[in-house]
Each structure stands twice: as structure tokens, then as C-alpha cells.
Amino acid sequence: MAQAKHIFVTGGVTSSLGKGIIASSLATLLQARGFSVTIQKFDPYINIDPGTLNPYEHGECYVTDDGAETDLDLGHYERFLNVATSQANNVTTGKIYYNVITKERQGAYLGKTVQVIPHITDEIKRNFLLLDDTGKYDIIITEIGGCVGDIESLPFIEALRQLRWELGGNDVIVIHLTLVPYLAAAGELKTKPTQHSVKALSESGVQPDIIICRSEKPIPMEIRKKVALFTGVNVNSVIEALDAETIYDVPLLMRKEKLDERVLAKLRYPYKKEPNIDAWKEFLGKLKNPTDSVEIGLVGKYVELHDAYKSIAEAFVHAGAYNECKVRLHWIHSEKINDENVESILGKLDGILVAPGFGERGIEGKISAVRFAREHQIPFFGICLGMQCAVIEFTRNVLGLSEAHSTEMNPDTQVPIIDMMEEQKKVTMKGGTMRLGAYPCKLKKGSKVQQAYGKSQISERHRHRYEFNNKYLEEIEKAGMIASGLNPDTELVEVVELVDHPWFVGVQYHPELKSTVMNPHPLFVRFVKAAQECKEKK
């Protein structure tokens, strides 16, 4: 039985209006009033999870502590709320059908015809309430992916209708996010798309309680009244969401529009203190008033789509604000780099990050970038595949084993310095089968990473199949690249760093996934600092 209050966020008119940021901002305000809040995302696509998707499709795949491969919006939830999400926070149509079909094969519905209503909708409702069952939350915000009116989101909207009917309007409210476009030629803001989108929602039996209008221009009272009239929402529940300079402004913009107050009134929630957002404001103050700046190159092969590296870009925002330093990211395509042109592409940078990735494409460019950073004493940060490239480069050019490679790129290499884990060799299925989620790591005393973290025991999230091959460890360490972080149970190498370099660190895990506004990741903080020092020296 439901104990928490439920807020659903649906979207209309177009995708990419920022439902995830609105949900995160509202959650931030409610959390700042002392409520325990979580956010979950329901995605209409058929993939069981986004783990098998190319980053070009929906951007990065965000990994939780418990090893779920999820939508990148969960990254926003964690960055805003500073609370970890889990497997249960992201559900797709594929997962719902998979559960229902599995039960059907087990005979759970024996004798019955299995149908969208009630079987699929019941399974959706069960999943809507999974986090509620933990008893940990006062308020659960559920973001429904896609657009109202899409064929594939219909079962989610129907399940929402049923749940509201079952639990009642004081426990379940619906916020609908739409677009109010500005037609420059007519000099007018247009409400028609909003009217249509709310009509589509109402036809599915769901009347929104609050309408948030995304707009590039302020929405005057007469337009708000028009939206209210056509959609049957109180005028003070028509909220404006202006394009913001940074996503981190949105909680304050929503506060100004009194979104949190409207929500609590609709939920008939007893008064709790005003939100305390001083720390958030302090972060924004630092973010907007930097006293220094650095140029950092992000070398990857999906750079055309910045969302493919969302968490890395946001981790730089957090670390930059912490250091009161503007981080200018240069998105550099690894396929365009080679040993001949590398200086002209990377020569002016204060720091180089080589990004995570899969497969052969662009790999040699990444290795050239590593070499340049190593030889020119430019701060370097390698993440996952980036760390593997650092090890390959070192083995080839310092140990002189020119054949060195990862068996992911060259299965027949004579020097498999990066190789598949034993347990991975048995794996044949693709989805959810990598080394996923949080693993402990022990850092070497006195190492650069141990100093950055300020502690020796850490836990970080993983998403990979290949590993540093310990057969070469001794030789590599003798030559000046040390394994400064090890998994305490398996001895797998999690971190490498160069002894003779201002800041050269490669990590097998994904630190970017744990950086939040209130808790910038220490390795990003230290890397930005190293870039500042590098700039000063020039």
C-alpha cells in the first residue's frame, strides 16, 4: 500500500523540454524543506535498459551503485539530490513486458488471456510503487519519458490514471510540461500546442494539476490565464520555465514561480519549513563568478553528441565551481588525432581527458593524445577506456613493446596488456553482463589519488569487460607507472598514475558518476587544480 505522496511529470508538444531537470529541481526544493524525496524514470522504449544502446541514441548510459545501466536523467537526479539511485529508479516498457511474459511462462496467469489492461498496467503500477514499498520516502517523483500522445507511452498514462483513481487526488498529482513557442514574425507567444497536448492527456483520463510552460520569453498574466482557461488548471498553477543560463539555475527559477508551494498545497501536505537553499546559492555564486579559467580537452569518439559524456561535463562544472575556475571544455574527436598533428590540436590545452568508450574506432588517436600529455607534462585524466589507453601507450612507448594492445581491439596481440577478465570469457549475452556497479578499491598511501581523496578506502562504479593484465604489473611499475589503486578482493588494477609527472591518473572506474553539486568528485577537483597549475607555469 502506498505511503508516500506521488508526483508524476509528463511531457507534451516535443521531447527534450527538460522534464528531468524540472523533476530534479522540484525534488531539490522539496528536499530543502526537509522531505525525503526520490525520482524515478519510466521510459517507453522496448530495450530492457539503455545498456545496449549506442550513445548516439540517448546519450550516456548512467550506472548506479547496484549495477543498473540506466537513462542519463538518473545522473541529474543524483547530481541535484546528492542521493544514490538504484535499479528500481529506471523502468522501461521492455522491462515491464519481460516481467509479465516471464510470469506468463511460469503459469502465473494460467487459464487467463494476458492483456495490456489489466496485466501490463498492473505491472506498471507495481513498479510505480516499488520505491514506495521501501518506506524510505515522503515524496516520489515519477518522470514519464516521451511525449503524451505517443502510442508507446499510452500504457504508462493509463496506469497513472488508474493509480490516481485508486489512491485519490491528495496523494497523486500530475505536472504536465509543455512548450509555449514564441513566433518572432508575429511577435507572440502561442498556447495552442499546450491546449492540444493537455487535451490529449485528458482524453486518456488524466487531468493535470499543474502546467509548466517552457518558454524562451517571460509568460505574461494574460497568456497564463488563457492556458488556465483552456486546460482547467488554476492560474497560479500555470508555471513558467524560462530557458536558463545553466541547469543549476532551475531550482531557483522554480522557487520564484512557487512550484514547490503549489505542489505541497495540491498534495494537502502539512506545512514544513521554507526550503533552505543557501548551499545551492553558494555553489551558483562560485559557478558564475570564477576567478580563473582553464582549457581542458575531452578526447572521445562521440563528441558530436555532448550528452554522450553528460556526467563528465557536469563533473567539470562541479569541480570548476569548487575551484572558482571556469572550465572550458574542448570537444575533440579522437579519430582526427595522430602522432603528426597532435601538437597542433592539443598543444594549447591545460589538461587532457581521454574518455570512456568501446571498440576500435578512434583508439589510435586516443593513444596519441595520451602520449602527448605524458611527454609534455600536461595534466592527464583517463577514464575507463581512457585508462586502458594510458596503459597501452606506456607499454608501447616506454617499455618498448610496440605490439601492446587491448584484446578488445586486437584479440591476437602478442602483448595483451589489457585483457578480458576470466569470468567475462564465459559471457555470451550482451545486456547487463559487464562488470557493473560499485566495487571497493584500496589506494596506495602517499599516491596522488590517495591525497586527492584524502582517504585510502573508496568505492566507485564500473562498466567494462576488460582489465589491466597483472602479468605486466611489475615491469610497468619499475618503469614509473604505478598501480595506485587495487581491488582489495581480486587485486585488479583500478588506478594507475605516473610517478614522474605533475598529474597523470587513469582510473578503470567512472568517477564522473558520483560527482554532485554538493559533493564534487575529488579527482575532478584535483585535475582542474592541476590544470590551473599547468597554466600558471606556461
Q: Answer yes or no: 405 catalytic.
A: no
| Residue 516 backbone zone (phi > 0: left; psi -120 to 50: alpha; other: beta) | beta
SS3 of residue 268 by DSSP: coil
Q: Please, which residue, 254 or 385, has the CB nearer to ligand GLN?
A: 385
Active-site entry in 143, 512, 521, 534: 512
CB of residue 357 to ligand GLN, shortest distance in Å = 5
Q: Does 309 bind ligand GLN (CB under 6 A)?
A: no
| Rounded Cα distance, 410 and 246, in Å | 42
CB of residue 380 to ligand GLN, shortest distance in Å = 16
Helix orientation angle between 93-105 and 154-167, rounded to the nearest 10 degrees: 80
Q: What are phi and psi of 31, to 5 degrees?
A: -65, -40
Q: Please, which residue, 42 or 309, has the CB nearer to ligand GLN?
A: 309
Render 217-249 in DSSP notation, one character per residue: S---HHHHHHHHHHHT--GGGEEEEE--SSGGG
- In the region spanning residues 465 to 504, those forming contacts with ligand GLN, defined by CB under 6 A, are 465-466
Q: Please, which residue, 216 or 360, has the CB nearer to ligand GLN?
A: 360
Cis peptide before 118 (omega within 30 of 0): yes
| Rounded Cα distance, 419 and 139, in Å | 45
Q: Please, which residue, 197 or 311, has the CB nearer to ligand GLN?
A: 311
Using CB under 6 A as the binding criterion, the count of chain residues that bind ligand GLN stands at 10
Q: Does 301 bind ligand GLN (CB under 6 A)?
A: no
| Rounded Cα distance, 253 and 241, in Å | 7
**Cβ-based burial of 478 (10 A; exposed 0-12, middle 13-18, buried ≥19):** exposed
Q: Answer yes or no: 534 catalytic.
A: no
Q: Which stretch binds ligand GLN (CB under 6 A): 284-292, 351-359, 470-478, 480-488?
A: 351-359
CB of residue 55 to ligand GLN, shortest distance in Å = 10
CB of residue 434 to ligand GLN, shortest distance in Å = 6
Q: Does 385 bind ligand GLN (CB under 6 A)?
A: yes
CB of residue 61 to ligand GLN, shortest distance in Å = 9
CB of residue 509 to ligand GLN, shortest distance in Å = 9
Active-site entry in 61, 147, 325, 384: 384
Output the CA torsion sign for 149, 151, 152, 153: positive
- In the region spanning residues 440 to 469, those forming contacts with ligand GLN, defined by CB under 6 A, are 463-466
Q: Please, which residue, 501 or 510, has the CB nearer to ligand GLN?
A: 510
Q: Please, which residue, 44 or 356, has the CB nearer to ligand GLN?
A: 356
Active-site entry in 76, 176, 462, 510: 510
SS3 of residue 436 by DSSP: strand
CB of residue 513 to ligand GLN, shortest distance in Å = 11
**Cβ-based burial of 498 (10 A; exposed 0-12, middle 13-18, buried ≥19):** buried
| Rounded Cα distance, 241 and 210, in Å | 12
36, three cell numbers:
525525503
Percentage helix, strand, coil, to 5, in the chain? 40, 20, 35
CB of residue 356 to ligand GLN, shortest distance in Å = 3
Q: Answer yes or no: 393 catalytic.
A: no
| Rounded Cα distance, 261 and 267, in Å | 10
- In the region spanning residues 353 to 372, those forming contacts with ligand GLN, defined by CB under 6 A, are 356-358
Among 23, 354, 370, 384, binds ligand GLN (CB under 6 A): 384
Q: Please, which residue, 236 or 407, has the CB nearer to ligand GLN?
A: 407
Q: Please, which residue, 42 or 509, has the CB nearer to ligand GLN?
A: 509
DSSP state of 285: H
SS3 of residue 24 by DSSP: helix
Binding mask 393-432 toward ligand GLN (x if CB under 6 A, else -) reads ---------------x------------------------
DSSP state of 326: E
List active site positions.
384, 510, 512
Residues making contact with ligand GLN (CB under 6 A)? 356-358, 384-385, 408, 463-466
